């Protein structure tokens, strides 16, 4: 089992088993539970920076999916390499992040909510302007993810798209300057 120094929680309560199980393990192992907010920065000993961009307070309520819209969102930076992790954040969360006015440009985007039609808005994708986009999505999923509109939005900014339903595992490596992406299925 992987040992964690801290457990990051968005503060959005959720009754799902995976969430409850993860919290239980954190409690059993005396792992501190923290609630990072916009502007929180973590720095590792080897020079990786995580800057949290969401969720902001107050948490989003009354949206199509509050649980997803209150996902933890962060920018990973290592030297000049940047990757944006969006969790399941939807359009409402993306707009809040855009309203903060932060530099969202990233080399790689982990596409929000499996490429759902309710995330990856054109304005958000234009601000990120990723060279590569990774969509974590199950093959033949019931929701039809990723949405054609999301794929079109990514294509418009010139992002090369990797999908776990087509590429299986997507492996990313970086020396801090460039990204090297490979897959377990040949392209």
Q: What count of residues does the chain have?
A: 187
pLDDT for 3: 62
Average pLDDT over residues 117-123: 95
Residue 2 pLDDT class (50, 70, 90 cuts):
low
pLDDT for 52: 97
The answer, yes or no, to whether residue 186 has pLDDT greater than 90, is no
Average pLDDT over residues 60-65: 89
Phi, psi of 108 (to 5 degrees): -130, 140
Cis ω for the linkage preceding 58 (within 30 of 0) = yes
Phi, psi of 126 (to 5 degrees): -65, -40
Average pLDDT over residues 24-49: 93
The pTM of the whole model exceeds 0.85: yes
The CATH number given to 37-183 is 3.60.15.10
How many whole angstroms separate alpha carbon 71 and alpha carbon 10?
6
What does the domain layout of the chain look like in residue ranges? Answer: 1-35, 37-183
pLDDT tens-place string over residues 125-150: 999 999 999 999 988 878 778 999 99
The percentage of the chain sitting over the pLDDT mark of 70, rounded to a whole number, equals: 98
Average pLDDT over residues 75-92: 97
**DSSP-based three-state secondary structure for 126:** helix
The percentage of the chain sitting over the pLDDT mark of 90, rounded to a whole number, equals: 76
pLDDT tens-place string over residues 5-28: 899 999 988 878 998 999 999 999
């Amino acid at each position: 089992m992987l040992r964690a120094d801290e457990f990051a929680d968005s503060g959005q309560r959720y009754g799902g088993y995976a969430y409850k199980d993860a919290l239980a393990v954190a409690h059993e192992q005396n792992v501190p539970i923290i609630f990072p907010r916009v502007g929180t920065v973590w720095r590792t000993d080897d020079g990786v920076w995580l800057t949290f961009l969401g969720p902001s307070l107050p948490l989003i309520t009354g949206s199509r999916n509050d649980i997803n819209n209150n996902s933890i969102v962060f920018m990973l930076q290592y030297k000049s390499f940047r990757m944006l992790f969006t969790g399941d954040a939807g359009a409402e969360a993306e707009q809040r992040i855009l309203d903060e006015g932060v530099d969202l440009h990233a080399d790689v985007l982990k596409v929000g909510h499996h490429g759902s039609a309710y995330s990856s808005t054109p304005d958000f994708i234009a601000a990120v302007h990723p060279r590569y986009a990774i969509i974590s999505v199950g093959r033949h999923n019931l929701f039809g993810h990723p949405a054609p509109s999301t794929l079109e939005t990514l294509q418009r900014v010139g992002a090369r798209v990797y999908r776990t339903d087509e590429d299986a595992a997507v492996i990313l490596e970086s020396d801090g300057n460039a990204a090297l992406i490979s897959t377990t299925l040949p392209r």
